[in-house]
Amino acid sequence: MTTPSNGDTVTIDYVLKRGDGQEIGNTSEVGPQTVQLGAGQIFPAIEEALTGMEVGDSQTVSIDSDNAFGPRREELVIDIPRANLPAEPAPQPGMAMQAQTPEGQPMTLYILEVGDEQVKADGNHPLAGEDVTFDLTLRDIKQAA
């Protein structure tokens, strides 16, 4: 009976669901994911669940919004003059674009609306303010050297 511990590298499959049960992502689309436990690569609640699992085990982990992608912050919804955006590609609702915070940190903005003079963009993660559930399956453990 081997279970992973801090420093080990694990390979997992997952299905990601919104709090209402709607599936929004899974590893069948992108392939199994490999992460190192304790390296801050995944949510702490998932790391905690994985440390008690054996290869082949499955578990469902629910994470509230504050501990997942954070609360939704309305101050991150902003209007940008179209003149400040490149002409190509033309902005479209749902498009992601890279920007910088006033402190120079990179952030992703998601375009909500496109008007003649302005574009409304949202700096929140698309899942901000939502509880999420991961259906996990532990596929492999590579113990730290």
**pLDDT tens track of the chain, all 145 residues?**
689 999 999 999 999 999 999 999 999 988 999 999 999 999 999 999 999 999 999 999 999 999 999 999 999 999 999 988 888 888 999 999 998 888 989 999 999 999 999 999 999 999 999 999 999 999 999 998 7
Same domain, 13 and 61: yes
Same domain, 58 and 82: no
81-90 residues labelled b (16+ CB within 10 A) or e (exposed): eeeebeeeee
In total, how many domains does the chain have?
2
Same domain, 118 and 100: yes
**Measured between alpha carbons, how far is 120 from 78 in angstroms, rounded to an integer?**
6
Same domain, 49 and 65: yes
Same domain, 59 and 17: yes
Same domain, 50 and 78: no
Which residue range(s) make up the domain with 29? 9-69+129-142
| Global pTM value | 0.81
Tell me if 4 is assigned to some domain.
no
Same domain, 14 and 47: yes
Q: Say which CATH number the domain at 57 has.
A: 3.10.50.40
